[in-house]
Amino acid sequence: MMRLMANNRLKIMSIVGTRPNMMKVAPLLAELRRHNEIAPVLVHTGQHYDYSMSQVFFDQLGVPPPDYNLNVGSGPHYAQTAEIMRKFGDLVQKDRPDMVLVAGDVNSTIACALVAAKERIPVAHVEAGLRSFDRSMPEEINRILTDALSDLLFTTEESANQNLANEGVAPDKIFFVGNLMIDSLVRALKIARPSSLRCELGLRAKPYVVLTLHRPSNVDNEDELKRTLESIAEIAQRLPVVFPAHPRTARNIEAAGLTAVRAWKGGLLPSRGLWMMPPASYLDFLDLIQHAVMVITDSGGVQEETTFLGVPCLTYRENTERPVTVSMGTNRVVGCDPQQLLLSALETLENANHSQHRSARIRPPLWDGRTSPRIVSILKEAAQRDMACTEERVPQ
């Protein structure tokens, strides 16, 4: 049950830990700040901590510095989750919120939700109900457990509503509100500035492919990583493949001494080759994928962004927890076989008419850039209901 503080402001503590969290929470935090009856508090767990994966997103998304930074850093899943729980538990003893709002499926999400539940603090989960039905993925465990702990579940697509219903979640806890990632994307597109990165790469008027890989199942096994990158190097014989590499992936490539990848050192890209570069900023990355002929990824968020933008996307995984990206026709789940990836990519490059594909795109319901106001309205209504129930129980 939520409670109102002495000054009648509802203290909502929003959690971010990784760059996808920041893209989801940024527009919601801005909307929360527009309401005088809400006191928003931002906690950064520090799960992503370097500038390219963290601070640049605060800067470009217009998010003020977090009220608290737990500085947990990296580590094995169990150790990182435990450290977030320990530090967040200490925090809520000193500054107790009326609600904890978590987003997505990372370790910060489940850790803070579990602390809040044990402290009897209501939990709201943004991006609830998504399921890959593959429990070998750490994120799937995080999704299932966070949803089980949450009092308010905000969903992005109809499949998520059905998943929660199948799991026995009460209907009055589930709210289909749309996608906060799209709120951030719509706002970023309105900025409409030319990307200096595409200019530096020499790709302003040239076709190219974008690649992202970061999941441990794809990048931690040296032999599998080598086979994958060799197949992508074959694609790069047709068009340049731009590869903004997650730090974990870059370290594995360097440790393995893989020669299929060449590092971008500045200057214009040649017409062919697989080129690795540091992670791109949010605005530069959006500009890259918006103008790409094709995107290859194992990221859930990139599947959503390419769906909204109408860019052909090949998902290098055996499954997706975001089936709407497939049903909308922009995303294909091609599995984790490098040869199948190569065949699918060559087929996409040969058959896709880029301009016609985008003009005919269909966007999922409620992916309209207005998810933040819908969520805040529900949060306020929930607080008012709880306050009314409390007043009814108070002896007159």
The catalytic site residues sit at 214
d(CA 299, CA 121): 31
SS3 call for 197:
helix
Helix, strand, coil share (%) of the chain residues, nearest 5: 50, 15, 40
Burial class (CB in 10 A: 0-12, 13-18, 19+), 65: exposed
Strand partners, 332: 314
Residue in this structure with the two tokens 């190219």, named with its chain if needed:
208
Task: With CA atoms as reference, report the closest residue to 185 among 330, 329, 60, 354.
Answer: 60
Task: With CA atoms as reference, report the closest residue to 305 among 291, 286, 319.
Answer: 286
Sheet holding 38-44, edge to edge: 68-69, 38-44, 10-16, 99-103, 123-126, 152-155, 174-176
d(CA 113, CA 102): 7
d(CA 271, CA 205): 12
SS3 call for 217:
helix
